[in-house]
A and B are shown apart, each in its own frame.
Chain A
Amino acid sequence: MIQLRNITKTFGDVLANDRVSFTVEPATIHAIVGENGAGKSTAMRIAYGFYTADSGEILINGQVREIRTPHDAIALGIGMVHQHFMLVETMTVAENIVLGAEPGSTASLDLRKAGEEIRKVSDEFKLSVDPNATIETLSVGQQQRVELLKALYRHAQLLILDEPTAVLTPQEVEEFFAILRGMRDQGKTIVMITHKLSEVLAISDNVTVMRDGRVVGEVKTSETNAAELARLMVGREVLLRVEKPDAKAGDTLISLRDFSIIGRDGTKRVDNVSFEVRAGEIVGIAGVEGNGQTELIEALAGLIPGSYVSGSITFAGRDITRLDARARKELGIAHVPEDRHRRGLLLDFSLAENTILGVHYRKPAVMGPGSILLDQTGINRRAEQVIRDFDVRPPNPVLPARALSGGNQQKLIIGREFELPPKFLLVSQPTRGVDIGAIEFIHRKIVEMRDAGCAVLLVSAELEEVTALSDRLLVIHNGKIVGEVDPKVTTNEEIGLMMTGGRA
């Protein structure tokens, strides 16, 4: 269907694609895997005409084609669904889909005709999308199907999906895969960029593995396994399982009593929750995203104003419900936020400046107690320590945080928070958008913190992650803790059922 031949692309000094060649067979699901920055998105963006390759060629159905703009790509039957959806929230599905390819004569817009056609395509591929629904009323999973529909409506034969499951819940992933299989069986070709090995094994027919801008492996999915793929991706043996000794839990460090959070819209986000975390244990919270985890973690970090919360938080015997973020950090509560760009980093600040965020007012960031002058040597020393201990690359403290890959940004945040040093760690989505090598590292660090006597509260949308790391696992649904399971004996089915409110 599509063949890339010796595609090379540089951005400045960075060689993003180095003679990349691979072939995608028609009517297959082809996974392209690799760590962040391996060049997989670049290669597919070249195929879609977003970038132009420095050299090399692209063949469609055996013929060399020039794809200079996404328009060229669409004309050749190539569609792409981006990680971040490109939809106009306030417009309907039909309006979004026809955007840029409006039917009817130049002046009039025949939306009814478009609607019928969209419904036809939707039925054909079992997408069950209502053309008249407004985008903002749809769930993330439905919005993604609108994106698929958009490509299909333009008669795409080849669909390129960039990290399509990143935004989906486990249940939605299953549905989504069923749709993809259906599309393949009807003759569509699908290229899926991902770094999740379990998904590659579950859905794809063939796999191309990329590392450092090069293709390092091409295998049939049926003839490979996760360990081999991980080795190819990272370039060394990778431990896919979290290895940890049993927890030696100490005294209760933090406890919540009848804790509730009201959202700005007046709805209850967290509903009368009580639990505790002891020193030296990892307590996980599993749940479909948007069920109160975000608010719970932010409230524990002191980022939700007191007027929105009720109940109490006791930390080391002290009521901290009314303390602000700085005071809590002073007590030893560290926070790895779920959204590193929004919360965790000052992207335009240097790595060094980022390593003092939250402790910028005290030693070693300032000259002495009460001093207002920043201590550059102290800051640099701290930055070098974080960079070294947490293997942040490139190890250059004057670089802006923006210049780092997602994994390295995350390591920077984790390093900053873990070296406070904390007594209680709030960790939210620690490995989202992070490559395998870094995931292994981050997991090991979290377990190390636990073994050093730190209490850890972990929230993750990755069920595997939260079960593998936690010593105790709470399940949250609709703002309520609906149960506690033993992560060693539980099954995904059991948790999945609780997550969706199947058991109260």
Chain B
Amino acid sequence: MKLLREILFPLLAVLAAFVVGGIVVLLIGDSPIQTYRLLIGSAFSWPDGIGYTLFYATPLIFTGLAVAVAFRCGLLNIGAEGQLYMGAFAAAWIGIKFAGFSGWILLPACCLAAIAAGAIWGGIPGLLKARFGSHEVINTIMLNFVAVALVSYFTQYHYKTPGDPILQTVPIGTGAHIARLGKFIPGLPERIPLNLAFILAVIACILVYVLLWKTKWGYEIRATGANPTAAEYGGISIRKQIILAMAISGGLAGMVGINEVLGYRYRYYDGFSANYGFIGIAVALLGRNHPVGVFLAAILFAILLRGGIFVDAYTIHVSKDIVDMLQGIVIILVALRPDAIFSSLKKVGVMKKAKV
């Protein structure tokens, strides 16, 4: 029953969203079948479809995990967007500052910088909540603005190639580049930016699972999220858990920078995030705040993100906004408590029976 609820209901939500979306497409005047073929079908071609879909999924896995970890501690991290910008910029900064260093030092240093910057940016609202009780939702949202402005400023005034019309930093040292998967997989060209950060994302899923369910720290985080007064009774410091969970969450969001800076552009490109931090909330929600669910939901949203481009290009009326719409419907349906729907359906059924 529990497994059913955890797996079946999100699936139903996705299915229902597609049905509603199909009706909308029909009303607009396009063929839903053709639209969906473009939207989903284009993800399964080899190597481009699969390669790009997994590349798009990588940041969403990180941000989805970030939101999920915070949520398991009873916190809503709306700040993954800011945290990933901080992480990406920190990775680029180290990569630029120490560009001449050997990859053996530079690469781990850049990765750690991404994680640390995200963790600090997530840890601040955690600290504020633990210390002053100020709400993490407000603070994470506000810190998003601060982060975006801050990295923009540094890019513009300190780390840009003079004369470059694009708002981006100078390149990082080659030692900080991480390999594209095309290097290891026959048939996958290296022009596709899918890189080792995807493998890192999969490992992050496993590590988050182990952390949350197999360690005493995870027990404390989850206990705090499930019932803070009972956690306190169990000798768990709620303040510590709040700071810890927000820092871990921010660190995971910061890892988006590894994919973006070290594996894709090899520099910091301002405004690179296609709302990964916010889609991460949807990914976590649909994935029921479980790493496996987050992974699958990230793949789904990646398919939509990429498919949207094709829908835009090849249909007459429908634009890629359909992706936003589908996301929205999925979220609404997932946010509805499925058990409540079921019991009310049942009640109607029972009432009918009683009338006879």
User: A324, A325, A347, A360: which contacts B219 (Cβ < 8 A)?
Assistant: A360
Which residues of B sit under 8 angstroms from A303, Cβ to Cβ? 232-233
Closest chain-A Cβ to B354's Cβ sits at a distance in Å of 5
In the complex, the answer to whether B235 meets A329 with C-beta atoms within 8 Å is yes
Which residues of A sit under 8 angstroms from B351, Cβ to Cβ? 52, 68
Closest chain-A Cβ to B166's Cβ sits at a distance in Å of 45
A349 contacts partner chain B, Cβ-Cβ < 8 Å: yes
In the complex, the answer to whether A372 meets B216 with C-beta atoms within 8 Å is yes
Which residues of A sit under 8 angstroms from B219, Cβ to Cβ? 353, 356, 360, 374
User: A54, A325, A348, A366: which contacts B233 (Cβ < 8 A)?
Assistant: A325
Closest chain-A Cβ to B153's Cβ sits at a distance in Å of 40
In the complex, the answer to whether B354 meets A52 with C-beta atoms within 8 Å is yes
Report how far A335 CA is from B235 CA in the complex, Å: 11
User: B218, B220, B227: which contacts A345 (Cβ < 8 A)?
Assistant: B227
User: B226, B229, B234: which contacts A360 (Cβ < 8 A)?
Assistant: B234
User: B215, B226, B236: which contacts A373 (Cβ < 8 A)?
Assistant: B215
A469 contacts partner chain B, Cβ-Cβ < 8 Å: no
In the complex, the answer to whether A343 meets B226 with C-beta atoms within 8 Å is no
B230 contacts partner chain A, Cβ-Cβ < 8 Å: yes
Contact A360-B220, Cβ < 8 Å, known A52-B347, A337-B233 = yes
A148 contacts partner chain B, Cβ-Cβ < 8 Å: no
Report how far A285 CA is from B230 CA in the complex, Å: 24
Report how far A55 CA is from B350 CA in the complex, Å: 10
In the complex, the answer to whether A358 meets B233 with C-beta atoms within 8 Å is yes
For the complex, would chain A's binding face be called helix, strand, loop or mixed by DSSP majority? loop
Report how far A54 CA is from B150 CA in the complex, Å: 64
Contact A343-B230, Cβ < 8 Å, known A52-B354, A54-B350 = yes
A342 contacts partner chain B, Cβ-Cβ < 8 Å: yes
Q: Interface readout for A235-255 with B: 1 if CB under 8 Å, 0 if not?
A: 000000000000000000000
In the complex, the answer to whether A348 meets B226 with C-beta atoms within 8 Å is yes
B191 contacts partner chain A, Cβ-Cβ < 8 Å: no
Report how far A450 CA is from B234 CA in the complex, Å: 23
In the complex, the answer to whether B216 meets A360 with C-beta atoms within 8 Å is yes
User: A68, A342, A348, A358: which contacts B234 (Cβ < 8 A)?
Assistant: A358
Contact A349-B215, Cβ < 8 Å, known A303-B233, A335-B233, A360-B234 = no
Which residues of A sit under 8 angstroms from B227, Cβ to Cβ? 342, 345-347
Contact A365-B235, Cβ < 8 Å, known A54-B354, A347-B227, A349-B223 = no
Query: Which residue of chain B has the shortest Cβ distance to A301 in the bound complex?
Result: B233
Report how far A54 CA is from B351 CA in the complex, Å: 9
Which residues of A sit under 8 angstroms from B350, Cβ to Cβ? 52, 54
A125 contacts partner chain B, Cβ-Cβ < 8 Å: no
Report how far A335 CA is from B234 CA in the complex, Å: 10
Closest chain-B Cβ to A45's Cβ sits at a distance in Å of 13
User: A53, A356, A372: which contacts B217 (Cβ < 8 A)?
Assistant: A372
Report how far A302 CA is from B235 CA in the complex, Å: 9
Report how far A156 CA is from B354 CA in the complex, Å: 25
User: A337, A349, A356, A358: which contacts B226 (Cβ < 8 A)?
Assistant: A349
Report how far A203 CA is from B18 CA in the complex, Å: 61
B214 contacts partner chain A, Cβ-Cβ < 8 Å: yes
A140 contacts partner chain B, Cβ-Cβ < 8 Å: no
Report how far A343 CA is from B232 CA in the complex, Å: 8
Closest chain-A Cβ to B120's Cβ sits at a distance in Å of 23
In the complex, the answer to whether A357 meets B217 with C-beta atoms within 8 Å is no
Report how far A374 CA is from B213 CA in the complex, Å: 8
A326 contacts partner chain B, Cβ-Cβ < 8 Å: yes
B353 contacts partner chain A, Cβ-Cβ < 8 Å: yes
A344 contacts partner chain B, Cβ-Cβ < 8 Å: yes
Report how far A385 CA is from B349 CA in the complex, Å: 43
Which residues of A sit under 8 angstroms from B222, Cβ to Cβ? 349
Report how far A15 CA is from B229 CA in the complex, Å: 34
Closest chain-B Cβ to A377's Cβ sits at a distance in Å of 13
Report how far A272 CA is from B126 CA in the complex, Å: 38
Which residues of B sit under 8 angstroms from A366, Cβ to Cβ? 216
Which residues of B sit under 8 angstroms from A302, Cβ to Cβ? 235
Which residues of A sit under 8 angstroms from B226, Cβ to Cβ? 346-349
Report how far A372 CA is from B216 CA in the complex, Å: 5
Closest chain-A Cβ to B241's Cβ sits at a distance in Å of 13
Q: Interface readout for B342-356 with A: 1 if CB under 8 Å, 0 if not?
A: 000001001101100
In the complex, the answer to whether B214 meets A326 with C-beta atoms within 8 Å is no
A361 contacts partner chain B, Cβ-Cβ < 8 Å: yes
Report how far A342 CA is from B220 CA in the complex, Å: 16
Closest chain-B Cβ to A410's Cβ sits at a distance in Å of 14
Closest chain-A Cβ to B177's Cβ sits at a distance in Å of 34
Contact A343-B233, Cβ < 8 Å, known A68-B351, A366-B216 = yes
Report how far A302 CA is from B236 CA in the complex, Å: 12
Report how far A356 CA is from B213 CA in the complex, Å: 14
User: A335, A342, A343, A357: which contacts B223 (Cβ < 8 A)?
Assistant: A357
In the complex, the answer to whether B235 meets A326 with C-beta atoms within 8 Å is yes
Contact A54-B353, Cβ < 8 Å, known A329-B235, A349-B223 = yes
Q: Interface readout for B221-252 with A: 1 if CB under 8 Å, 0 if not?
A: 01100110111111110000000000000000
Which residues of A sit under 8 angstroms from B216, Cβ to Cβ? 360-361, 365-366, 372-374
Closest chain-B Cβ to A494's Cβ sits at a distance in Å of 34
Report how far A360 CA is from B217 CA in the complex, Å: 9
Report how far A160 CA is from B207 CA in the complex, Å: 54
* Chain B, range 292-343, C-beta contacts under 8 Å to A: none
Report how far A54 CA is from B222 CA in the complex, Å: 39
* Chain B, range 139-165, C-beta contacts under 8 Å to A: none
Query: Which residue of chain B has the shortest Cβ distance to A361 in the bound complex?
Result: B216
Which residues of A sit under 8 angstroms from B220, Cβ to Cβ? 360-361
In the complex, the answer to whether A345 meets B230 with C-beta atoms within 8 Å is yes
* Chain A, range 46-96, C-beta contacts under 8 Å to B: 52-55, 68
Residue among B219, B230, B232, B350 with the highest chain A CB neighbour number at 10 A: B230
Query: Which residue of chain A has the shortest Cβ distance to B213 in the bound complex?
Result: A374
Closest chain-B Cβ to A329's Cβ sits at a distance in Å of 6
In the complex, the answer to whether B230 meets A346 with C-beta atoms within 8 Å is yes
Can you add 8 more A-B contacts, CB < 8 Å, to A346-B227, A349-B226, A360-B216? A303-B233, A324-B235, A325-B233, A325-B235, A343-B230, A347-B226, A347-B227, A374-B216
* Pairs across A and B, CB under 8 Å, 28 listed: A52-B350, A52-B351, A54-B354, A302-B235, A303-B232, A325-B234, A326-B235, A326-B236, A335-B233, A342-B227, A343-B230, A344-B230, A345-B230, A346-B226, A346-B231, A347-B226, A347-B227, A357-B223, A357-B234, A358-B234, A360-B216, A360-B220, A360-B223, A360-B234, A372-B217, A373-B216, A374-B215, A374-B219
